[in-house]
Homo-oligomer: A and B are copies of this chain.
Amino acid sequence: MWEKKKSMTKKVGEKPDLRIVILAGGSGTRFWPLSRRKKPKQYLSITGEKKLIEQTLDRVKGLVPYSKIYTVAVAWQTQRLKKLLPALPEKNFIVEPQARNTAPSVMLATACVYLDNPEAVIALLPADHYIREARLFRQKLAAAARAAYKFRKIVMFGIQPVSPATGYGYLHSLPNNFKTLHKEKFYSVAGFKEKPDLPTALDFIQSGEYYWNSGIFLWRVDVFEQSLRKYTPELFPAWLKILQALEKNDRQKLTKVFRELPAQSIDYALIEKVRGSLMARGDFGWSDLGSWSSLYQFVNRDENYNVFCSPLVSLDSKNCLVLNPGQLTALIGLEDVIVVNSRDALLVCRRESDQRVKELVEKLQKEKPEFT
């Protein structure tokens, strides 16, 4: 087994053996009532004809062969993923025993690749983001993979903030401390700050040294293992157990490890603790589609800046967002209102309050779970 790994390492040489891992197990609620427990955001077609998960795959097409693209999700989601992404080999659909936030998912996916090639580089992609410039994205991803391989660092993409958003994680990178590879600058990451308050977010923007954490990470799997041992030693035994379970194909053991792992994000569990990571600028038209307002740029708009993807008639209304397929929507005297109609539920929401959709869904989960 170790023999095999070494021979593969030699084959790839300086060009890394890049594997794409799509984190497809998300269960976001911010697009309620379109998104539901059994239909999370990655299965919605909100920015185009294809579902976000399909767009995520299309976006990396050509960068690596399908045999090197993986998804990671629980069983019921995997069933759906197999239907939506038939180009991927059966074995590349990595099945989590249960949903425990992203750290366990990422450890599992990284372990799967590790058993194939411990010097491979993983690019971890969220399944439900939007990226406008796919070609530029592929170029930057290729450069970042080389950097991750060569510099043996965790590499991440930071997004230049366009607003003092308080819902994001921020990366602090030093503008004069960078390495260049394939014309791409990789800045040293000096620290992280999750969900700052508004004054702090404003300071961040003014400083020019802070970037939104895009959730796109790259690492050599051996570097991931070393980082885990060094920065999160309490998780290292679980990592070894996952490797053992995979080698023996022991699902029961894997289930047990998952049950014992804390349900943490990989950001919190590992990435924010690692020193010396690198950041490239993700200037490829990124959006995490984190709220209804984020859709504003993707749909038709009329002369009053009402955006809509269904028939609309309006009087004295502007800056509204309307998704009401199959019906005519009429607006009178409204400004900055979001209207979304989906099956059994209708949402009408002030635009500036759209971050509260999550809170609404939590309320519904208690009071009327059939609508979540």
Question: Which positions 310-342 of chain A face chain B at CB distance < 8 Å?
Answer: 311, 313, 315-316, 324, 326-334, 337, 339, 341
- Residues of chain B within 8 A of A367, CB atoms compared: 313
- Residues of chain B within 8 A of A337, CB atoms compared: 334, 337, 348
Question: Which positions 343-372 of chain A face chain B at CB distance < 8 Å?
Answer: 344-350, 352-354, 356-357, 359-360, 363-364, 367-368, 371
Q: In angstroms, how far is the closest chain B Cβ from the Cβ of A358?
A: 11
- Taken together, the copies of this chain in the complex come to 2
Report the separation of the CA atoms of residues A364 and B339 in the bound assembly, to the nearest whole angstrom: 20
Report the separation of the CA atoms of residues A329 and B316 in the bound assembly, to the nearest whole angstrom: 24
Task: Contact check, A328 vs B316: say whether CB atoms are below 8 A apart.
Answer: no
Report the separation of the CA atoms of residues A10 and B327 in the bound assembly, to the nearest whole angstrom: 61
Report the separation of the CA atoms of residues A56 and B24 in the bound assembly, to the nearest whole angstrom: 59
A-B contact pairs, 18 of them (CB 8 A): A33-B330, A313-B363, A313-B367, A315-B359, A324-B346, A326-B344, A327-B341, A328-B346, A328-B368, A329-B345, A330-B347, A332-B354, A332-B357, A333-B356, A334-B348, A337-B337, A337-B348, A339-B348
Report the separation of the CA atoms of residues A7 and B60 in the bound assembly, to the nearest whole angstrom: 97
Q: In angstroms, how far is the closest chain B Cβ from the Cβ of A365?
A: 11
Given A315-B360, A359-B315, also A332-B349 (CB < 8 A)? yes
Q: In angstroms, how far is the closest chain B Cβ from the Cβ of A36?
A: 12
Contact of A334 among B313, B324, B350 (CB under 8 A): B350
Q: In angstroms, how far is the closest chain B Cβ from the Cβ of A272?
A: 31
The residue among A332, A333, A347, A367 with the most chain B CB atoms within 10 A of its own CB is A332
Contact of A313 among B324, B328, B350, B360 (CB under 8 A): B360
Task: Contact check, B315 vs A356: say whether CB atoms are below 8 A apart.
Answer: yes
Report the separation of the CA atoms of residues A88 and B341 in the bound assembly, to the nearest whole angstrom: 43
Task: Contact check, A329 vs B311: say whether CB atoms are below 8 A apart.
Answer: no
Task: Contact check, A329 vs B315: say whether CB atoms are below 8 A apart.
Answer: no
Report the separation of the CA atoms of residues A33 and B329 in the bound assembly, to the nearest whole angstrom: 10
Q: In angstroms, how far is the closest chain B Cβ from the Cβ of A125?
A: 31
- Residues of chain B within 8 A of A345, CB atoms compared: 327-330
- Residues of chain B within 8 A of A339, CB atoms compared: 346, 348
Task: Contact check, A330 vs B346: say whether CB atoms are below 8 A apart.
Answer: yes
Which 9 A-B pairs rank lowest in CB-CB distance, beginning with the nearest?
A333-B353, A333-B350, A332-B349, A328-B345, A332-B353, A330-B347, A329-B346, A328-B371, A332-B356
